């Protein structure tokens, strides 16, 4: 039910303007300064360095789909970079909205572990960078909503049963009780695709990192997980065939379609995922399914295919790819 | 493309009131008189006689689904009967709207053959019955729209490609040009289910049976068939994958669903039928498919199951039945 945990920190380097007010040359100086710090930190010596400015559109889209950079970073202008751990568990966006956006991703609910890792990366960088820090307010950031700890904790949840039973409002309520926000798969302002929801904090001021992480770990997320489990049990108890119908129709469509959009594929894969987790289905293993979620996305599909594809071509290739991976024999 | 041809004649027996003005006893006398005539006619000696009044609701629904009686006849009150040829190709409803409604059903486009058979049945009955006939107007009927020849010719067409290409208006136009009506599967006032359409005449006065049959046989129906073939060719030429997508998704849904309404099943079976006829599909033979069209209907399903079923139970049994018949191995 808990797909992944992400923690990110917003940081800016003292002595440089915030990016909204930075000239092209300043931007480049910032990028060079941060890149140099990453290279010097022993903890980050395996990090891969990417000049996002030099990438073509498809490669940038690929990084977005892998959650290594934000859409804003992909679509931005001027000197901007990415440094990431080869396992893709940790990444540093350079010159996104702030000079640094450090993130750590973990599968499942691992808020504390993610926090410990990102805290270590933050410390390692701070040995080579002088952060903008105000004794009263904390870390200063481009957008006031990040001032303070500069931390954002996001937990991605898969809640198909709550959607089927029309109980998503419970999730909204649980989040609001702790002043957290609920969003769709690709961050702010997007709709929930394939029943994936992201719970994240909105407040970075007046609440310590440890308190925030504790809210996620011991309160909000366990409560939402309980709701989803209860909804699954209720479906299994009262309408097992309605559940099976959803799950098997999803399998049927994925194995049969000749044209499929990524949104539709996400929704069907979501139902298959629920089928695996409720034990109603075993036609596919979880790893194959997780790979499919990633690979059916437009940029991944084109990389896999080795060339640019129009929307209709992607729809054809996506359907064919899914059929191959989910074929019954 | 042409599923079936149906011809029916409306007749009333001289000396009895029309049914709208007939007392219960008169109704019974009419039924007895007509039944006796059917029994006496050598041509009709194999006919099965059914007292529709005595049937329970399920059996009447079954006869409707087999197109042996109309809904009106099933839901009517008082003495009313059915006599039909064991092959179900010919049937006589006694005391539906008129004293007699004789019908002949043939598969494919066989208007002339159906006319010849029904004309013979009509003659055979007339040797034992004195029909209401007016030298100027022709046969007199309960509803003025049937006065004259009392004939209705209906041809059932399967037009999935014209629906997919949004060209059904062409069918409407072809029909209107010859003063014919286009209706859904179960006669007047119903929507087209599973892309089945019924073309029938509206005029029974001032046009001989032979002229009318000629319109169907040589003009209207061949024109509509040509439209459908052209639409199928266009789909195959310009959007073969869109066609395959429809066809295979239908197969996928039929093989996977755990709950399915009869309308949804009809629509999917219709796409499978198109798949067979365009040669894009061979996972099922036409006979199995035609049986499915009949057997997924509510009354048939309950007969098959041996007991009354609620709507949800039917939905479960229907899905299970279809899965068994269309299983891949």
Residue B69 near residue B83 (C-beta atoms within 8 A): no
How far is C-alpha B197 from the geometric centre of its chain's CA atoms? 10
Dist CA A94 CA A44 (whole Å): 14
How far is C-alpha A144 from the geometric centre of its chain's CA atoms? 22
Q: Pick from B242, B256, B316: which is nearest to A251 by CB?
A: B256
Q: Pick from A244, A258, A316: which is nearest to B248 by CB?
A: A258
- Cβ burial of B157 (10 Å; 0-12, 13-18, 19+) is buried
B251 contacts in chain A (CB < 8 Å): 256
Output helix, strand, coil percentages for chain A, rounded to the nearest 5: 50, 15, 30
Check pLDDT > 50 for residue B132: yes
B238 contacts in chain A (CB < 8 Å): none
Put simply, the answer to whether A248 touches B259 (Cβ < 8 Å) is: no
Q: In what order do the strands lie in the sheet with A81-84?
A: A48-51, A81-84, A90-94, A100-107, A2-11, A151-158, A196-201, A180-183
Q: Six-digit token pair at A104?
A: 């750590």
Helices A311-325, A286-295: crossing angle, 10 deg rounding:
170
| Pick among B256, B259, B315, B326 to test the A interface (most A CBs inside 10 A) | B256
Amino acid B223: pLDDT = 92
| Pick among B245, B260, B272 to test the A interface (most A CBs inside 10 A) | B245
Q: Pick from B241, B249, B328: which is nearest to A253 by CB?
A: B249
Check pLDDT > 90 for residue B231: yes
Amino acid A263: pLDDT = 83
Residue A9 near residue A110 (C-beta atoms within 8 A): no
B256 contacts in chain A (CB < 8 Å): 248-249, 251-253
Task: Look up tokens 């993610």; give the residue.
Answer: A114
Confidence of residue B328 (pLDDT cuts 50, 70, 90): low
Put simply, the answer to whether A249 touches B241 (Cβ < 8 Å) is: no
Would you list which residues of chain B are within 8 Å, Cβ to Cβ, of chain A?
Answer: 241-242, 244-245, 248-249, 251-253, 255-259, 316, 319, 328
Residue-wise pLDDT tens digits, B177-205: 888 888 864 444 455 677 888 899 988 88
Three-state SS for A185? Answer: coil
Q: Pick from B244, B252, B258: which is nearest to A253 by CB?
A: B252
B86's CB contacts (< 8 A; 6+ apart) are B46, B47, B48
Of all residues in chain B, the one with the smallest CA distance to A319 is B245
A259 contacts in chain B (CB < 8 Å): 241-242, 245
> What's the CA angle centered on A170, arms A196 and A280, to 5 degrees?
55
Q: Number of C-alpha atoms within 13 angstroms, CB side, residue B273?
A: 24
Residue A40 near residue A124 (C-beta atoms within 8 A): no
| Residue B267 neighbours by CB distance under 10 Å | 17
Give the A:B interface size as CB pairs under 8 Å: 51
Residue A73 near residue A93 (C-beta atoms within 8 A): yes
Q: Number of C-alpha atoms within 13 angstroms, CB side, residue B203?
A: 14
Q: Six-digit token pair at A12?
A: 């800016």
| Residue A136 neighbours by CB distance under 10 Å | 4
Dist CA A173 CA A181 (whole Å): 10
Would you list which residues of chain A are within 8 Å, Cβ to Cβ, of chain B?
Answer: 241-242, 244-245, 248-249, 251-253, 255-259, 316, 319, 328
Put simply, the answer to whether A245 touches B328 (Cβ < 8 Å) is: no
Over residues B158-182, the mean pLDDT reads 86
Q: Pick from A241, A258, A328: which is nearest to B316 by CB?
A: A241
Give CA torsion, residues A291, A297, A298, A303, to 10 deg.
Answer: -20
Tell me what ipTM this predicted complex has: 0.73
pLDDT digit of tens for each residue in chain A (329 aa)?
A: 888 899 999 999 999 999 989 899 999 999 999 999 999 999 999 999 999 999 999 999 999 988 999 999 999 989 999 999 998 999 999 999 999 999 999 988 999 999 999 999 999 999 999 999 998 888 999 888 888 899 999 999 989 888 888 888 888 888 888 888 888 644 444 556 778 888 999 888 888 888 899 989 988 899 999 999 999 999 989 989 988 999 999 999 999 999 999 888 988 998 999 899 888 888 889 889 989 988 998 999 998 888 889 988 999 999 999 999 998 64
| Pick among B243, B246, B249, B318 to test the A interface (most A CBs inside 10 A) | B249
Q: Number of C-alpha atoms within 13 angstroms, CB side, residue B260?
A: 28
> Quick one: which of A12, A38, A305 has its CA closest to A140?
A12
Helices B311-325, B262-277: crossing angle, 10 deg rounding:
20
Amino acid A247: pLDDT = 93
Q: Between B322 and A267, whose confidence is greater?
A: B322
Q: Pick from A252, A316, A328: which is nearest to B253 by CB?
A: A252
B241 contacts in chain A (CB < 8 Å): 258-259, 316
| Residue A124 neighbours by CB distance under 10 Å | 17
Residue B250 near residue B271 (C-beta atoms within 8 A): yes
| Pick among B252, B314, B328 to test the A interface (most A CBs inside 10 A) | B252
Helices A240-256, A311-325: crossing angle, 10 deg rounding:
120
Residue A99 near residue A19 (C-beta atoms within 8 A): yes
Minimum distance, in Å, between the CA of residue B256 and any CA atom of chain A:
5
> Quick one: which of A178, A170, A281 has its CA closest to A229?
A170
Query: CATH 3.30.590.10 residue ranges in chain B?
Result: 2-227
Residue B197 near residue B171 (C-beta atoms within 8 A): yes
Minimum distance, in Å, between the CA of residue B17 and any CA atom of chain A:
54
Q: Pick from B244, B253, B316: which is nearest to A249 by CB?
A: B253
Amino acid A187: pLDDT = 47
A139-176 core/surface letters (b: 16 or more CB in 10 A; e: else): bbbbeeebbbbbbbbbbbbbbbbbbbbebbebbeebbe
Domain B2-227, CATH 3.60.15.10 — does that match? no
B319 contacts in chain A (CB < 8 Å): 245
A251 contacts in chain B (CB < 8 Å): 256
Dist CA B15 CA B30 (whole Å): 10
Dist CA B64 CA A299 (whole Å): 54
Give CA torsion, residues B37, B40, B44, B50, to 10 deg.
Answer: 60
> Quick one: which of B214, B179, B218, B228 has its CA closest to B199?
B179
Dist CA A280 CA B256 (whole Å): 13
HEC assignment per residue over A76-140? CCCCCEEEECCCCCEEEEECCCCCEEEEEEEECCCHHHHHHHHHHHHHHHHCCCCECEECCCEEC
Confidence of residue B105 (pLDDT cuts 50, 70, 90): very high
Q: Pick from A241, A257, A328: which is nearest to B249 by CB?
A: A257
Amino acid A170: pLDDT = 87
């Amino acid at each position: 039910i808990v797909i992944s945990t992400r923690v990110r920190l917003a940081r800016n380097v003292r002595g440089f303007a915030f990016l909204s007010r930075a000239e092209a040359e300043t931007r480049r100086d910032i990028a060079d300064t941060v890149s140099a710090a990453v290279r010097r930190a022993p903890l980050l010596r395996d990090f891969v360095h990417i000049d996002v400015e030099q990438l073509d559109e498809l490669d940038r889209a690929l990084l977005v789909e892998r959650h290594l950079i934000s859409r804003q970073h992909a679509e931005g202008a001027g000197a901007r970079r990415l440094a990431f751990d080869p396992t893709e568990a940790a990444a540093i966006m350079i010159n996104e909205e702030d000079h640094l956006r450090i993130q750590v991703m973990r599968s499942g609910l691992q808020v504390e572990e993610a926090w410990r890792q990102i805290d270590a990366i933050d410390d390692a960088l701070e040995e080579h960078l002088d952060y903008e820090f105000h004794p009263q307010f904390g870390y200063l950031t481009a957008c006031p909503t990040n001032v303070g700890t500069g931390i954002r904790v996001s937990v991605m949840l898969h809640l198909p049963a709550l959607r089927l039973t029309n109980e998503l409002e419970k999730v909204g309520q649980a989040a609001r009780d702790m002043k957290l926000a609920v969003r769709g798969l690709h961050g702010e302002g997007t709709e929930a695709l394939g029943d994936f929801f992201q719970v994240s904090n909105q407040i970075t001021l007046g609440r310590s990192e440890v308190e925030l992480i504790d809210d996620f770990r011991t309160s909000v997320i366990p409560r939402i997980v309980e709701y989803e489990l209860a909804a699954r049990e209720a479906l299994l108890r009262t309408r097992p065939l309605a559940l099976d119908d959803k799950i098997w129709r999803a399998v049927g469509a994925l194995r049969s379609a000749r044209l499929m959009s990524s949104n539709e594929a996400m929704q069907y894969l979501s139902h298959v995922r629920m089928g695996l987790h409720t034990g109603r289905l075993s036609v596919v293993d979880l790893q194959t399914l997780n790979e499919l979620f990633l690979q059916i996305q437009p940029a991944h599909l084109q990389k896999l295919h080795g060339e640019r594809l129009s929307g209709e071509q992607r729809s054809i290739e996506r359907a064919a790819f899914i059929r191959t991976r989910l074929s019954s024999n």
